[in-house]
Chains A and B, each alone.
Chain A
Amino acid sequence: MKNSLLLILCCLLIVNTSSNLFAQGDEMPGPLLGFSYGGFNSLHNGFDDIYSDNSMPIEYFFGVGYKRIYLIGKYKTYSANGRSIVDNGDFIGSADYSQEFFMFGLRFYDQNNNKLRYFLEFGAVSSLVSETITTDNRVPELSSSEEMQEWGFGISAGATFMFTRFVGISGSVEYTRLMFDIENGYETGDVNLGGFFISAGLVFMPFSD
C-alpha cells in the first residue's frame, strides 16, 4: 500500500513537471498516466494445483513520450492463497503467495491523433516473489517462507480509446517471462513465474494532440 501511494505521488510529480516543462509546444514530449484492473494467469505448471484464491491486481503506469513513443514504467502486485501440497500426512497445508512486478520499457502507438490508438510495448521486468507455506497443525519443520527476486522481460499489446481530449479507456494483454532458479519446490530448475495479464482501465494523456 505504501509503495502504491509512493508510486502515485511520483507519477503526479512527473506529470506536473513535464506538463510545466512541455506545455508550450505541440511537438514537445507529453506525460501518460493511468491504471488498469485485470486478471493475472501464472504460467507456472503447478500454480493452479496450489493456489485457488487469486487476487485481481491493479496495475499503475506512467510515462513520458513524444508523439507515438513513450518511455513507460508499470507496477502491480499480485497475491494468491491456497493449499500447499502435503504428501503422506493427515495435515492440511496452507500457502500465501505474493508477486510484485516492476516494468520499464517503451510503448509505441500506431498514431497519436486518433481517438482509437493501438499500442505495442516491451521492456525489462523486475519481479519480487514471496511465499509462505505451513500446515494446520503448525509443525515447524513443515513451515517456511521464501523470497526471490529475478529479472525478465515483458511485452504487451493493447488499445486506447480517448473519449475526451486527454482521458481515455485502455485495454491490453501483457505477457511476462520471468525465469526463477528454484532449487526445492513444486518444480525445480529454471521455472517461469511470469504469465498473462489481461486488463482494462483509464489512461490520462495530457498534451497528447
Chain B
Amino acid sequence: MKRSKYFILVILLLVTSCDMENLIPPTEGELVKLEIDSPDSITLNSGDILQMEVRGVYVVSNTDVITNTGILQSNTYYNQTNDSSFVEINPATVAWYSGDQRIARVNSGLISAVSVGSTYIYAKKENVVSQKIDLIIK
C-alpha cells in the first residue's frame, strides 16, 4: 500500500513537471497575441467556479548578417527572420479583468459566478489584450 502511494506520488510529480514546462514562456521574443482557451460565450450558474486557460504567441526576430566578398569589394545583406511559437501561459502570471465584478469575478484565470446577469472577462499581459469572453450567469 505504501509502495503504491509513492508510485502515484512520482507519477503526479512527473505530470506536474511536464505541465510546468508547457507553462514557461520563452525567455526571448515578444508576446504578440494573447488568447483565452474558451468559446466566445460561457454560461454558468450563480456560485459556479471555472478555471480558464490562456495561450500566447511569442515572436523571436533574428537578423542574419550575410556578406559576399570578392577581391575588390564586399557586400552586406541583413536578412530578418521571425520565428513564432504558440505557448501556454500560467494564468497566475496574467492580469484578468471582469466587466462587472458584481456578476462575476476572475482571479488568476479562475472565474467565480457571483450573481445573475451577463458580463465579460478578458486577460492582459505585456500590454497585449486577449479576446473578450461573454459570461451569462443564471
Specify which chain B residues have a CB less than 8 angstroms from the CB of A50 in the assembled complex. 69-71
Contact across chains for B77 and A133 when beta carbons are under 8 A apart: no
**8 closest A-B pairs (Cβ-Cβ)?**
A89-B66, A133-B70, A142-B68, A141-B77, A146-B72, A146-B73, A85-B69, A131-B72
Q: Does B74 contact A (CB under 8 A)?
A: yes
Chain A nearest CB, measured from B120 CB (Å): 49
Interface membership of B67, Cβ < 8 A = yes
Interchain CA distance A186-B71 in the complex, whole Å: 5
Question: Which residues of A approach B to under 8 Å, CB–CB?
Answer: 44, 46-47, 50-51, 84-89, 91, 93, 95, 97, 129, 131, 133-135, 139, 141-144, 146, 148, 180, 182, 184-187, 193
Residues of A within 8 A of B77 (CB): 89, 139, 141-142
Among A44, A87, A143, A187, find the residue whose CB has the most chain B CB atoms closer than 10 A. Answer: A87
Residue of A nearest to B73 (CB): A146
Residues of B within 8 A of A85 (CB): 67-70
Write the chain B residue with the least CB distance to A133: B70
The minimal Cβ–Cβ distance linking A189 to chain B, given in whole angstroms, is 13
For window 20-65 of B, CB contacts with A under 8 Å fall at 64-65
